[in-house]
Structure 1
């Protein structure tokens, strides 16, 4: 085999290898995007939504106790519920938060601290003055509703990221097939071509 033939073969093989490596790297990047989006949907959105639901349930129990002026609740369960809410907030803060979500979470934490202060005042008033306490619940519940809405919005955004990445994978796969066909034809032409000898 002459040097010219060897060079033709090497160029043909290198073109195919380059194409395969390039498309593989692009596909790998897109699959990483899909994987990240799925993990984010679970870890940062579904877990956060679950924590919001648990906190909402606990806040609802506190509201019912305030409406009923339930002294037994405040002596037996209130501190435990406050601790549970605090532990859920700690776990929530460990998720990946958007800027708006951080702001809303800070609002909720502040409103929750105000709620606890009003509860103390309510207890000190011998379960009589609950108007400030009852007026605090709508603020706390609004904060939780806003946080829940962000979970849905961000989950949808992550889903769109994964869909775009999947569309990109499909597009590159089709392009790869067409380029491989063209390269196979080019390699065949290069290999079969014999210059005229003088």
Structure 2
């Protein structure tokens, strides 16, 4: 009967070890969530924030040139800036976008096309009618501002996901330590304990 009791204890301990393996798998899953979150913060938020910054600078150059009616800018530099902006848009499209971000980004692209039309109209008016171009540039700047705010919100959300995953890992690690200490004591008792023979 003593052998049977020891087998029960060993099976009980094996079940606890299986529990520990399961918690390790959960830890692994949480570490993957942290890793994905960090990658997302860099690739889909910081890189995009830099693209938004570059596009904002380009739009400010356009706005300044429009206010000054800078013919040299619109006849020589503007096409290059439009090409750069198109490249920034292509890079932006390769990142993961949230539903709200898709909506604002599509609006931005439509407004950017309207800016190009307004620029052609501005040039055709011999740099006289700037109001239409200024209005379209204002819409694009508003879109860029909204996209920038989305990056901040999403970056915060990803940080929150990382923090929750790290907190979960810490909790399970402490539980594992307590369980292992308990198991070590139980194993010692099972191995050392010798029942009295009657």
Partner of 2:109: 109
- Once residues 154 and 197 of structure 1 are traced to their aligned partners in structure 2, the CA distance between those partners, rounded to angstroms, is 69
- Once residues 160 and 92 of structure 1 are traced to their aligned partners in structure 2, the CA distance between those partners, rounded to angstroms, is 24
Partner of 1:162: 162
Partner of 1:81: 81
Partner of 1:144: 144
Partner of 1:46: 46
- Once residues 32 and 192 of structure 2 are traced to their aligned partners in structure 1, the CA distance between those partners, rounded to angstroms, is 41
Matched, 1:181 2:177: no
Partner of 2:35: 35
Residue aligned with 1:96, SS: coil
RMSD between superposed Cα atoms in Å:
2.1
Partner of 1:124: 124
- Once residues 41 and 158 of structure 1 are traced to their aligned partners in structure 2, the CA distance between those partners, rounded to angstroms, is 7
Q: TM-score normalized by structure 1?
A: 0.91
Q: TM-score normalized by structure 2?
A: 0.91
**Higher relative contact order at CA 8 Å, sep ≥6: structure 1 or structure 2?**
1
**Contact 1:8/1:191, CA 8 A, preserved across alignment:** no
- Once residues 76 and 66 of structure 2 are traced to their aligned partners in structure 1, the CA distance between those partners, rounded to angstroms, is 14
Residue aligned with 2:171, SS: helix
**Contact 2:108/2:140, CA 8 A, preserved across alignment:** yes
1:56–1:145 Cα change, 3 Å: same
- Once residues 3 and 188 of structure 2 are traced to their aligned partners in structure 1, the CA distance between those partners, rounded to angstroms, is 17
For structure 1, the 5+ residue unaligned runs are none
- Once residues 136 and 188 of structure 1 are traced to their aligned partners in structure 2, the CA distance between those partners, rounded to angstroms, is 78
**Shift, 1:183, TM fit:** 1.8
For structure 2, the 5+ residue unaligned runs are none
- Once residues 135 and 157 of structure 1 are traced to their aligned partners in structure 2, the CA distance between those partners, rounded to angstroms, is 33
- Once residues 4 and 92 of structure 2 are traced to their aligned partners in structure 1, the CA distance between those partners, rounded to angstroms, is 66
Question: How many residue pairs end up in the alignment?
Answer: 197
Deviates further, 3-12 or 44-53: 3-12
- Once residues 170 and 128 of structure 1 are traced to their aligned partners in structure 2, the CA distance between those partners, rounded to angstroms, is 66
- Once residues 138 and 42 of structure 1 are traced to their aligned partners in structure 2, the CA distance between those partners, rounded to angstroms, is 29
- Once residues 18 and 57 of structure 2 are traced to their aligned partners in structure 1, the CA distance between those partners, rounded to angstroms, is 57
Deviates further, 180-189 or 67-76: 180-189
- Once residues 142 and 75 of structure 1 are traced to their aligned partners in structure 2, the CA distance between those partners, rounded to angstroms, is 26
